[in-house]
Structure 1
């Protein structure tokens, strides 16, 4: 007992006890930490990136470069993020059939699993907008009226006030938003495809994006036409006003001529 007591009073006793405690803590953490799951996730992510690189080499590298650096036929993809890939490939715009002023929407040729792999590879080239979750583009609790205000302020100049689309310069156009999925609308606002400016969360918060999506889905929904009668294609107040002026005034002139002609005949008889 005297020897044990003497060892406890030794100047290095506290250091030894501390080292033993740290070693025990480290051993317990190594034994019970979920390292296997983390390693499995890293392995799955690496596998997805590698498979995405193979898909990229076949379908994208000829225009965007073997490492996403871009070329004369396609822009660089460094930093565009997974959201841009999901939108462009998921809407069929990419791979493009032929160059032109506007890359049009067409039939999707990749499965969603393949799109996810392509997105993982492109995202590995540089940080960019990630693919949104279902909660981010959900319309639950969205303010449709607020979404209408935001849409008319930021979007109607190109897509017109009801999202029917419109012409731009040099053969370009703003596509119709009818039938576009909530996810793709959100991604388009995040990434700014082609002629469209981008609206990151720092500029337009998630709630505002949800409000805009709810407005678009409301004015382009199945019951949208019955809300305000015939909308003449949703061409906007200028075009619809011109229609009303030409045909409405023309009808009044025709009626006036008919009345005058029959009045003259009545007087002669």
Structure 2
């Protein structure tokens, strides 16, 4: 007991306890994250998928991302980004880049579905990361009301409350979310492309992500029941339209009156 008491008074004891606490906390967090990501598992990749994906990567991606996807001055490392990030970026045509700029633009995909899958398999083999979501999370049959609340709290400040998109700083923007597939919406949430933060399963559960997708698909299907949405930007664009249109009518009416009196 005396020896144990002396060790407790050792000046390095507090540091040792702190390091032990950090290791335990980190281990528990890593385990919880792994369990959560497993809920959005992808179809199993084969060794052939990864091998073919490696060949496609060397031929089309290594110039910017480096051999082995370790990153270069022209492109970040892809180790640990996961299959979901590759499936989103390549599947929406954002990668390969069309040109250098503040942000990658959506364009027609340069690879077919099989090639996209192979590239995803190769990058997934380099390190653990978010995987391609399974079909049960993409059926848009969640709770739209809950999804709307989650969207307004976490997404509307950039994407607009009507998911019409919005401008960010230095030439960047949050894109409109109409006509975006359920899979790509989910993958964007778990991978955080461009300026978007990552919403892992600790932030928004898989069921919450499903609810958000349901909400987005519902407002997309409803359209704009009030007529032209004017970009869905709210009272600013509506007020500007009324001011310009109303002022134009007044000017036209004034010209008509003066022409009649003369």
Q: TM-score range by the shorter chain?
A: 0.7 to 0.9
2:100 match: 99
Q: Find the aligned partners of 2:189 and 2:110 in 1 and give their Cα distance.
A: 23
2:147 aligned with 1:161, yes or no? no
1:235 match: 233
1:230 positional shift: 3.1
2:140 aligned with 1:149, yes or no? no
How big is the alpha-carbon RMSD for the aligned residues of Structure 1 and Structure 2?
2.5
Deviations 1:152-172 (A, max 9, x none): 221111111111111111111
1:110 positional shift: 0.8
Residues 123-142 of structure 1: pairs in structure 2 closer than 5 A: 123-140=124-141, 142=142
Residues 73-84 of structure 1: pairs in structure 2 closer than 5 A: 73-84=74-85
Structure 2: tracts of 5 or more residues without a match = 1-43
Deviations 1:1-41 (A, max 9, x none): xxxxxxxxxxxxxxxxxxxxxxxxxxxxxxxxxxxxxxxxx
Q: Find the aligned partners of 1:69 and 1:49 in 2 and give their Cα distance.
A: 16
Q: Find the aligned partners of 2:178 and 2:69 in 1 and give their Cα distance.
A: 32
1:242 positional shift: 4.2
1:49 positional shift: 1.1
CA contact (8 A) 1:83 1:130 kept: yes
2:133 aligned with 1:172, yes or no? no
After superposition, the Cα gap between the structure-2 partners of 1:118 and 1:165, relative to the gap in structure 1 and judged at 3 Å, is same
**SS where residue 228 of structure 2 aligns?**
coil
Q: Find the aligned partners of 1:241 and 1:207 in 2 and give their Cα distance.
A: 38
Structure 1: tracts of 5 or more residues without a match = 1-41
1:238 positional shift: 3.4
Considering Cα pairs closer than 8 Å and 6+ residues apart, tell me whether 1 or 2 has the greater RCO. 2
1:190 match: 190
Normalized against structure 2, the TM-score is what? 0.75
Deviations 1:246-268 (A, max 9, x none): 645x479769979xx89xx9xxx
Matched residues, number: 217
Q: Find the aligned partners of 1:165 and 1:81 in 2 and give their Cα distance.
A: 26
Deviations 1:72-107 (A, max 9, x none): 111110110000000000001111122111110111
After superposition, the Cα gap between the structure-2 partners of 1:145 and 1:68, relative to the gap in structure 1 and judged at 3 Å, is same
After superposition, the Cα gap between the structure-2 partners of 1:177 and 1:68, relative to the gap in structure 1 and judged at 3 Å, is same
Q: Find the aligned partners of 1:200 and 1:63 in 2 and give their Cα distance.
A: 27
1:245 positional shift: 5.3
Q: Find the aligned partners of 2:96 and 2:113 in 1 and give their Cα distance.
A: 15
Structure showing greater Rg: 1
2:111 match: 110
CA contact (8 A) 1:161 1:236 kept: no
After superposition, the Cα gap between the structure-2 partners of 1:148 and 1:237, relative to the gap in structure 1 and judged at 3 Å, is farther
Q: Find the aligned partners of 1:118 and 1:54 in 2 and give their Cα distance.
A: 9
